[in-house]
Structure 1
């Protein structure tokens, strides 16, 4: 609810994610990507409502109570790399103390082993080991992001949920962070990466899910999406065309407000292929939701 109105921030989102696989969820700001992540972890505002199911290891995350989520899901089954690391780091404790405390809560290990694990987690997240004894306010935005990544990796959760994990990082650190997340998937973890960075998604994703106005409008193999015949949805094609290394052509117009979505296709007002058919909302067939699907020769 927002201002007494019901806002469907995410609807009809359906996908699976296997162990060892990376699914990148991409789309413009405000399309509902981070809302979906918050729903999976039970971190939505108190007035939010959820429906459907999200099953992980036999547990439905959408219906689990807060006690279950806090004690058995967050950190244990799902490791979160947050979009805003400053909000997830305790300001009065050093990075080392927070990593060690997180590990102690998950597995009661001797102090020496916790210190070694903290160093290992920092190195895996490309966080400088000589910064472990600093407080969050002493870190740049990029360092805070890497500290949050180290915290997410410490628990060896089977699912990693990375919400904009490369925000504030330069290209070299983006690549290092993406490669570490890919390594986690290669070691058997499932990885859901929410990102604006299509270059990072291309670097590590197995599949791409494109979200627009709260709905997944295309789900595609990453190879086909980036390097093969290309996306099939006009919005997904527009995202790729907007990249500097592609056409560098922005998508015209602005996304609709989630609280005032049109009856039919939410992208129709910005779509060069829109016709009268778009007055009806297109169904998602498991691959694409569009009345004018086409197979471009190349992206």
Structure 2
């Protein structure tokens, strides 16, 4: 609810995420990416409603399959958050305890989540900090004494403790320079390995291109395209006009902004939400397109497949 009106922040978000895989969820600010992450961890406001299912499999020893959307708070707090699903939050200042040092928060998480013996806590906290490129000489500082980038790295260090089977990284590179962006996403990718999964929520397409196996593009609360990352960033490229527009807006590409503005979630059109900004729109776009295989693009008029020009010997 917003101002007495119902807001469909996320609709028909359908995707799977396999062990050993990184899926990058990309799109403009306000499209619903962070709302989706909050829903998966039961962190939505009390007046929010969810429907459907989000199954976390029980492949690890002693674990059962959990539906994250229907699980009660006790299950999420005691068995899911931190243990089976780790979170790198978009706003680390809201997740760090303001009256405790970074070291004490790392040590507490190591005790609770990783069952680290007390005699090993200090060394383990240092190792956790190094893993997230957090400087050891800042471990005894309080959150208010950290820059935005350092707070982000502290939150990343906390999220990686316990090696959760699923890691949700919600804009994990906010406030970081390019070198630290690369280092952070590389560490998140290493965390995935062969038996863990990473959902990277980001507007940083360079970070997504660096580590993602697949890309899901969200617009106005809906996923409009899912593609393998090499095909998305290379050839044949995105098929949805909005997804192609995101890439073409990058400085290293055409540097052409997507025209217009995203719609208000309280006033979505009946059909394709991107139609008012799309030069390919027709009357058919007044009906909502579905995301269907094998194209995995929700568009009535998807862009043609780009074919890289090949050199012909002797031509």
* TM-score, with length taken from structure 1: 0.98
C-alpha contact (below 8 Å) 1:22/1:191 kept by paired residues: yes
Alignment of 1:243 with 2:250, yes or no, is: yes
Which structure has the larger Rg? 2
Of residues 60, 83, 89, the one that matches 1:82 is 89
Of residues 118, 122, 125, the one that matches 1:118 is 125
- Cα distance between partner residues in 1 of 2:106 and 2:297: 41
User: What's the offset of the Cα at 1:108?
Assistant: 3.3
Structure 2 residues without counterparts, runs of 5 or longer: 58-64, 309-315
Of residues 270, 293, 297, the one that matches 2:302 is 293
What whole-Å deviation, never above 9, does each CA across 1:146-190 have from its counterpart, x for those lacking one? 000000001211000000000000000000001101111125310
Give 1:143's aligned residue. 150
C-alpha contact (below 8 Å) 1:75/1:157 kept by paired residues: yes
Alignment of 1:276 with 2:283, yes or no, is: yes
Number of residue pairs matched? Answer: 299
- Cα distance between partner residues in 2 of 1:111 and 1:135: 22
Alignment of 1:63 with 2:70, yes or no, is: yes
C-alpha contact (below 8 Å) 1:117/1:154 kept by paired residues: no
- Cα distance between partner residues in 1 of 2:284 and 2:173: 39
Structure 1 residues without counterparts, runs of 5 or longer: none
Partner-residue secondary structure (3-state), 1:79? strand
- Cα distance between partner residues in 2 of 1:231 and 1:108: 45
User: What's the offset of the Cα at 1:112?
Assistant: 2.6
Give 2:313's aligned residue. none
Alignment of 1:131 with 2:118, yes or no, is: no
Alignment of 1:266 with 2:270, yes or no, is: no
Give 1:165's aligned residue. 172
- Cα distance between partner residues in 2 of 1:298 and 1:61: 41
Give 1:219's aligned residue. 226
Stretch of structure 1 that moved more, 102-111 or 273-282: 102-111
Stretch of structure 1 that moved more, 117-126 or 241-250: 117-126
Partner-residue secondary structure (3-state), 1:137? helix
Q: RMSD across aligned C-alpha pairs, in angstroms?
A: 1.1
1:96-111 correspondence to structure 2 within 5 Å: 96-111=103-118
- Cα distance between partner residues in 1 of 2:230 and 2:242: 18
User: What's the offset of the Cα at 1:143?
Assistant: 0.3
C-alpha contact (below 8 Å) 2:32/2:221 kept by paired residues: yes
